[in-house]
Structure 1
Amino acid sequence: MAQQFEDKFQRKFYYLRLSVTDVCNFKCQYCLPDGYKPSGKSNSFLTLPEIQRVVGAFANCGTSKVRITGGEPSLRKDFAEIVHAVAQTNGITKVAMTTNGYRMKKQIHSWKDAGLTHINVSVDSLDPRMFHQITGENKYFEVMSGIDRAFEVGFEQVKVNVVLLKDLNSRALPQFLCWIKDRPIQLRFIELMQTGEMDPLFQNQHVSGVSIRNQLMADGWLLKQRQSHDGPAQVYYHPDYLGEVGLIMPYERDFCVSCNRLRVSAKGKLHLCLFGEHGIELRDLLHQDSQQQALIDRIQGQLQTKAVSHFLHDGNPGMTPHLASIGG
């Protein structure tokens, strides 16, 4: 194995978030409220061989977890082949995806057979009408059936992402807790994050997860110990609940201290941070297997420029236009 990817703050990177498309078929208020619009540039997303090469380079430098993201990654016709290729990479032990759940019911069995080990589904409300209002799609029951199907095909846990929106779902904690009482679901409340195209929504709808944390702690929920390959959630468990609750609060001052993940966009750019100022081109080094060392050297060199923080708490959202653009 080559040298572990590490930045100048001694943070090691075990976790790659790999976007395979920026296309999405939902119109979520906090991401693509007007629906997906092609940028006008070439929509040439990473090919399967390019994906194999970039994942191979990361695995060779200590990465053990890959999360396949989008847009909506299952819109790729070769999605199962992508999962299989990632899962077959030496050193990769966890293959996760984040999905809107639109195709789960029909396709999750084939994804699991291909090697998918973990799944995150976005469900911003347990009220079908509110779900429709937030996502722009009347697909609540299809998504919920997909979650049921995930358990049927053998997933031991499903993570469910909920973006907190002050006027829409921030007071739905009791309903969500009732839902996970007897289900092995890790419910993840994610604070709304400021991006370039979403300033008015952020100003009107951002709410801190601290109030949820305080409520959980008052009700006897306990903080789980974080593992090296985990994402940024603070995860709480309760002896009376089969499910768990995770809180992702990027505006806390120490949020970036435990950063362990890097991002590669669907068009082959390395992003050192979700809210970085630019991406670093990798695609010119993804044409041949013989370029792996040059690819590793470029990534390791750029890691030395990674900032200590995303600076969101200073009101600086960087240049990310919306979360679908580099996979959230």
Structure 2
Amino acid sequence: MQLYSCICSIRPHLERIVVLIDRFGRQIHYLRLSVTDRCDLRCSYCMPEGFKDFEAPANWLSFDEIERVVAAFARLGLQRIRLTGGEPLLRKDLPVLAARLSQLPGITDLSLSTNGTLLARHAQALRAAGVSRLNVSLDTLDPERFVAITRRHALDRVLLGLAAAQEAGFAPIKINMVMTEGIQDAEIDAMVAFCMERQFVLRLIEVMPVGDTGRRTVAVSLGPVQQRLREKFGLVGGIVSGGGPARYLVSSDGRCRIGFITPISQHFCETCNRVRLSVDGTLYLCLGKNDRVDVRAVLRGGCSDQELHQLLLDAIQQKPWRHEFSDRPEQIVRFMSSTGG
């Protein structure tokens, strides 16, 4: 309470104040905001085929509640929001929420992670609402393998969504390709060529042991993949992204940019700048740990703004130093879709 009062008294005299700094000195300025745990795909590393144990709508944070939490975060220094799921475009009227969040003081970047199946329908509205960047999950360009991974025939819809996103003016558009056992070099090279031709940024991601599905999926270490792509495409440098966990390499002509997200083979916890808020109002402080805070209960208990600020400040101090994917992979029983990407 005392800290919040102090912040309020000095904030008018400062252009920016940042107090979301955890006990390890990391500045937390990025919120992954899940608006639904539902998804229209059933990717083998994410959610079981017949899974139906979704959060009841009564437990979802409303748009008003979401806006209140994000505004409180922003007053404490948060700058970046990524809308996630599940598949966030399944949440009714998502562009309306996006517009509300993009106009909040202090929020300088609003982006969206999507599987792309509904993107053609919503791209223009999302862009108009203030969403500026997209991450689109696309693990393969091969129709049969796409069905094997996602258990759905939807590749054509994803490709149409990507075309619609470019037409709407989204840039950059990042393609997230999860690396699973059995993937062939030719398949990766085809994705690189696809992204180069369309000026997408490709990001290769190691599978994380989140939930039974994640643990059952054999992860592919990106070290050897990175070395092969370095040689084949003349990739140089070691560009570290300022916003997320990817470490980027780029070709000398700038046409090819590939990010590598390596939570297993080379963790990036020392630079972690994010927390996750699930659709039911649970604030997860680390994707690979169980540290959490129930924000919904406080909101619906009639908390004041001061109490909400203090809750968030206290929560950030509980953020652990690093995940334990390698040491204790069995501890995360929730599925990725319920946490938020």
TM-score interval, smaller chain: over 0.9
How far apart, in 1, do the equivalents of 2:273 and 2:239 lie? 15
1:316 pairs with one of 313, 317, 329: 329
2:145 pairs with one of 105, 130, 151: 130
1:50 pairs with one of 65, 78, 95: 65
1:67 equivalent in structure 2: 82
**Measured at CA, do residues 224 and 287 of structure 1 come closer, stay the same or move farther in structure 2, by a change above 3 Å?**
farther
1:211 equivalent in structure 2: 224
Q: Tell me the TM-score normalized by structure 2.
A: 0.89
Give 1:196 shift. Answer: 3.0
1:231 equivalent in structure 2: 244
Which AA in structure 2 matches 1:33?
P
1:191 equivalent in alignment to 2:220: no
1:178 equivalent in alignment to 2:196: no
2:94 pairs with one of 79, 100, 103: 79
| 8 A contact 1:223–1:234 mirrored in 2 | no
How far apart, in 1, do the equivalents of 2:295 and 2:171 lie? 36
Which AA in structure 1 matches 2:209?
Q
2:174 equivalent in structure 1: 159
How far apart, in 1, do the equivalents of 2:115 and 2:50 lie? 14
**Measured at CA, do residues 190 and 295 of structure 1 come closer, stay the same or move farther in structure 2, by a change above 3 Å?**
same
1:222 equivalent in alignment to 2:268: no
How far apart, in 2, do the equivalents of 1:168 and 1:227 lie? 26
2:310 equivalent in structure 1: 297
| 8 A contact 2:114–2:137 mirrored in 1 | yes
How far apart, in 2, do the equivalents of 1:73 and 1:103 lie? 10
| 8 A contact 1:181–1:241 mirrored in 2 | no
After superposition, the C-alpha distances for 1:190-222 in whole angstroms (9 at most, x for unaligned) are 1011123126623xx211111121123334212
How far apart, in 1, do the equivalents of 2:112 and 2:167 lie? 18
**Measured at CA, do residues 4 and 222 of structure 1 come closer, stay the same or move farther in structure 2, by a change above 3 Å?**
farther
How far apart, in 1, do the equivalents of 2:225 and 2:192 lie? 11
Which AA in structure 1 matches 2:316?
L
1:94 equivalent in structure 2: 109
After superposition, the C-alpha distances for 1:144-203 in whole angstroms (9 at most, x for unaligned) are 11111111111122111111111145652211121122322111111011123126623x
| 8 A contact 2:35–2:279 mirrored in 1 | yes
Greater gyration radius:
2
| 8 A contact 1:190–1:249 mirrored in 2 | yes
Which AA in structure 2 matches 1:275?
G
| 8 A contact 2:241–2:247 mirrored in 1 | no
1:150 equivalent in structure 2: 165
Which AA in structure 2 matches 1:235?
Y
Which AA in structure 2 matches 1:88?
Q
| 8 A contact 2:132–2:170 mirrored in 1 | yes
Give 1:35 shift. Answer: 4.4
Which structure dedicates a bigger proportion of its chain to helix? 2
**Measured at CA, do residues 154 and 7 of structure 1 come closer, stay the same or move farther in structure 2, by a change above 3 Å?**
same
**Measured at CA, do residues 200 and 56 of structure 1 come closer, stay the same or move farther in structure 2, by a change above 3 Å?**
closer
1:249 equivalent in structure 2: 262
How far apart, in 1, do the equivalents of 2:160 and 2:182 lie? 27
Q: Structure 2: give runs of 5+ residues left out of the alignment.
A: 1-10, 12-16
Q: What is the root-mean-square deviation of aligned Cα atoms in Å? A: 2.1
| 8 A contact 2:215–2:329 mirrored in 1 | no
**Measured at CA, do residues 303 and 111 of structure 1 come closer, stay the same or move farther in structure 2, by a change above 3 Å?**
same
State the number of aligned residues: 325
SS state at 1:8 partner: coil
SS state at 1:298 partner: helix
Q: Percent identity?
A: 33
| 8 A contact 2:32–2:82 mirrored in 1 | yes
1:270 equivalent in structure 2: 283
Give 1:318 shift. Answer: 2.9
SS state at 2:113 partner: strand
Q: Structure 1: give runs of 5+ residues left out of the alignment.
A: none
